[in-house]
Structure formats: C-alpha cells, structure tokens
Structure 1
C-alpha cells in the first residue's frame, strides 16, 4: 500500500516493515559488492577512497532532492552507510588475506 493510502497505524506499520525488509535485501546486495571489492583490491590502502565516498554521497543527496526526501538527512544517513561499508570491506579484506 502506498503511504498516501494509509488510514490506520497498522497499515503504516505494515508498510514500514515491508520497506525495512526491502532495505535489508538491498543492504545484503551492497555488502556483497563490498566483499567483491575486498577480494579485488590488492592494497589495503585502496579500501578507503575519500573521492569515491564523496561522489557516492553527492549522488545520494541529489537523488534525494529529486525524490523530495530531505537531502540533509540523506547526507547523514549516507555518511554512516558508506563508513559502515568501508569498515566491512576492511574487515573482509583482512579476512581474505589472513
């Protein structure tokens, strides 16, 4: 159900739960790409790429603006998402290379 059609909190909560499940599935895919990056990158220093981090965040903020989502909140969320992804990739890099 689209948010605009919700008439009860039960409907809202069902929608939020469905959106959360979809987000987790997307995060699993994103983390899969982080595992791939850890496998491909030969140098641990390549795990952190500040230029790429900024480009990813800028793209998310612009997409948020287009969708009418508060860009400042998306910027905060993406900062956490990208930093968490970097930490995961670093952990995977170390695991792969022992």
Structure 2
C-alpha cells in the first residue's frame, strides 16, 4: 500500500478508515480459507496444531520487524485471531 503524507487530522483519519476496511476484508478472507481448511482436518490435534501456530507466529513476527511494527503487538493480535479460528474450527469437527 502506498503511504502518503497528509495535511490534516481529517485526512489522516480518512486514510485510517480506508485501512481499517481493508484489514476487515483481509480477516474475512482469512476466515474463509480457515473454513475451507477445516474440511481437511480430522482431529482436535489437527485443528489446534501448536507447531503450525508457532510457525505462523514466527513468520508474522519477522514480517512485523521488517515493516518497523512492534512484533509483540502483532503477535498478540494474531494469537487472539488464531484462537478464535481454532474455536470456530472445533465446532465443525466435534459432534
């Protein structure tokens, strides 16, 4: 995404609103693919997959650092999001 200097608080807020919309759309897309992935999982262990969670966390921490973003904040956001998706998936595989 191209970043441009703004000339007012209103312009900054307008850009933040656009970014927020994009973040929501990306989370919705991620959820769509999580919902697809659950079809290939057969057990609670497949859903919880701690090694996959840690691999994702390691990757996003590196990406955050590359972009100059606080990796701890990004990790917390991802852990919350991942936990939500795990709970969503568990509802699908449990009778």
- After superposing the two structures, state which structure 1 stretch, 57-66 or 69-78, moved more: 69-78
Paired position in structure 2 for 1:30: 30
Q: Which runs of 5+ in 1 are unaligned?
A: none
1:93 aligns with 2:85: no
SS of 2:61's partner is helix
Compute the RMSD of aligned alpha carbons.
1.7
Aligned length: 94
TM-score after normalising by structure 1: 0.84
Deviations 1:56-89 (A, max 9, x none): 0110000000011111111111111211121222
| Separation (CA, whole Å) in 2 of partners of 1:44 and 1:76 | 23
| Separation (CA, whole Å) in 1 of partners of 2:92 and 2:28 | 14
SS of 2:14's partner is helix
TM-score after normalising by structure 2: 0.86
- When residues 69 and 46 of structure 1 are mapped into structure 2, their CA distance, relative to the original with a 3 A threshold, is same
| Separation (CA, whole Å) in 2 of partners of 1:59 and 1:83 | 17
1:7 aligns with 2:7: yes
8 Å contact kept, 1:34–1:88? no
1:68 aligns with 2:68: yes
